[in-house]
Homo-oligomer: A and B are copies of this chain.
Amino acid sequence: MKRIAVVGGRGFVGGELLRLLVHHPEVEVAGVTSDTRAGQAVETAHPPLRGSGLRYRRRADLEPVDLVFLAGVHGSTIEVLDELSALAPKVVDLTADFRIEDATRMQHHYGWHREGAHASAFVRGLPELHRKQIVDADRVAVPGCMATSAILSLAPLANRNLLSSVEVDARTGSSGSGASADSANSHALRSGVMRVFAPLGHRHEAEVAEALGVEASMTATATPQVRGVQTLTRVAVGEATERELVRMYREDYGAEPFVRLLTSPRGAFRYPDPKVLLGSNFCDIGIAVDDRGRALVMAALDNLVKGAAGGAVQCMNLMLGLPETCGLTFPGLHPV
């Protein structure tokens, strides 16, 4: 059994990580920290962990582990990384701190960048694109949820130099805003919205641009779900047919355990919809092509699983030499 710690286990991503780790057959949770809840039972924040016996501790009380997940707020990783490196040979970061390599982009989107820090020390935590590097990596940075959806859905086209720039339309549920209180995020004000919170320039676009090597722009809308992310991207495909596009995706993803290409012609769920992915680690991808050379590339995932904690556990499995799908086979809960 590998020993794992979660630093910043108070939020939704931390809770989801713990749910996955507690039921993972090859690891044990050796420590969970929370700045504000040290001493309290983890189940007070995450009811599904009732009976787990886990308690929050201070970061200073962590013992050495095989791997540590960093799930605190954005900006916290850079503060604690050196300290934690002594405790854990391997780090999986779920904050945004080391996702973006380019200092200008980082400065533009987050208002700071890492003077002298080595973003390049972190491998992008997308096994479908960087599996070999992740296997060998000590430090992995898991991409943002909407970035993951966009990147996975567009990589086969980027790989074939069929894209020069992309304009991504992203939609996200409320759990992506985190567990902290905010009036605009209250149930009364957040229910039933179609809230464009980033009309142009959502910061996840920087990750898309770096991962795909193209110019990227992202629009983001908050929709009424709690969980779920969907991205839609229109691309010009010239003479390519839907069949040809499907073949490209099959080539790249046919053996992937967590990427599914939806090609069924029928049914209410024939296109990617996070509704049928709740709790699962799948990213579903679909493509539609019209007779004017335009395609719509769609993708959906559960933002807390494939878009965060599940993707992180998938990386952990690779980094620790475990089967990649271990602990991640939940097929999705439906209907919810």
Contact = CB atoms under 8 A, between A and B. Distances in A.
Total copies of this chain within the assembly: 4
Interface residues of A, number: 86
Contacts of A260: 50-51
Given A196-B298, A226-B335, A296-B199, A189 B268 contact: yes
B194 A228 contact: yes
Interface stretch (A87-95, A110-118, A119-127, A324-332): A324-332
Interface in A228-278: 228, 230, 232, 234, 260, 264, 266-269, 271-276, 278
A194 B300 contact: yes
Interface string A147-187: 00000000000000000000101010111010111111111
A277 to B, nearest CB: 8
Contacts of A184: 267-268
A191 interface: yes
Contacts of A186: 174, 179-182, 185-187, 190
A192 B228 contact: yes
Given A230-B194, A266-B44, A49 B331 contact: yes
A169 to B, nearest CB: 5
**Which one of A50, A186, A300, A331 has the highest number of Cβ atoms from chain B below 10 Å of its Cβ?**
A186
A16 to B, nearest CB: 9
Interface stretch (A60-68, A133-141, A216-224, A311-319): A216-224
A59 interface: no
A188 B217 contact: no
A126 to B, nearest CB: 21
A62 to B, nearest CB: 24
A246 to B, nearest CB: 14
A335 B188 contact: yes
A333 interface: yes
Interface in A1-44: 12, 15, 19, 22-23, 43-44
Given A48-B333, A224-B224, 11 more contacts: A23-B329, A48-B331, A48-B334, A174-B191, A181-B181, A192-B224, A192-B228, A192-B336, A195-B269, A195-B273, A278-B333
Interface of A: 12, 15, 19, 22-23, 43-44, 46-51, 167, 169, 171, 173-175, 177, 179-196, 199-201, 217, 219, 221, 223-228, 230, 232, 234, 260, 264, 266-269, 271-276, 278-280, 286, 288-290, 292, 294-296, 298, 300, 329-336
